[in-house]
Amino acid sequence: MEVTTAWYLVLGGILFAIGTFGLLVRRNPLVMFMCIELMLNAVNLTFVAFGRDLGDIGGQTAVFFVLVVAATEVVIGLAIVVAVMRHRPDATADDIAALKG
């Protein structure tokens, strides 16, 4: 049995659905960041699958840029979350929303 592009797309869809469900259900900011990362990796998987199917390197190029954006998002977001969690260990996403000003 050969693994086709459809298998990768189904796997990407399942991973994206798990990430979306986790983002909507969980209130812990660290878990929410992990769910966002899971969603971004699901999109990366679909980019690579389509790039492989079309024989184009554009999918891998898009993945590179998505990974750069995800890394910067994690560095900045994680610094904010860790700073808040040091002062209030039981902080939720609602508490972090109060930082808007």
Question: What is the Cα–Cα distance from 63 to 65, expressed in whole angstroms?
Answer: 5
Q: Which residue type sits at 24?
A: L
Whether 51 has a pLDDT exceeding 90, the answer reads yes
Task: Give pTM, 2 decimals.
Answer: 0.81
Q: What is the pLDDT of residues 14-26, one digit of tens each?
A: 999 999 999 999 8
Specify the CATH number for the domain of residue 87: 1.10.287.3510
Q: Is the Cα torsion angle 97, 81, 45, 15 positive or negative in sign?
A: negative
Q: Both tokens of residue 33?
A: 């960041």
Q: What is the pLDDT of residues 55-94, one digit of tens each?
A: 999 999 999 999 998 889 888 988 888 887 787 777 777 7
Instruction: Give the structural domain span for 66.
Output: 5-100
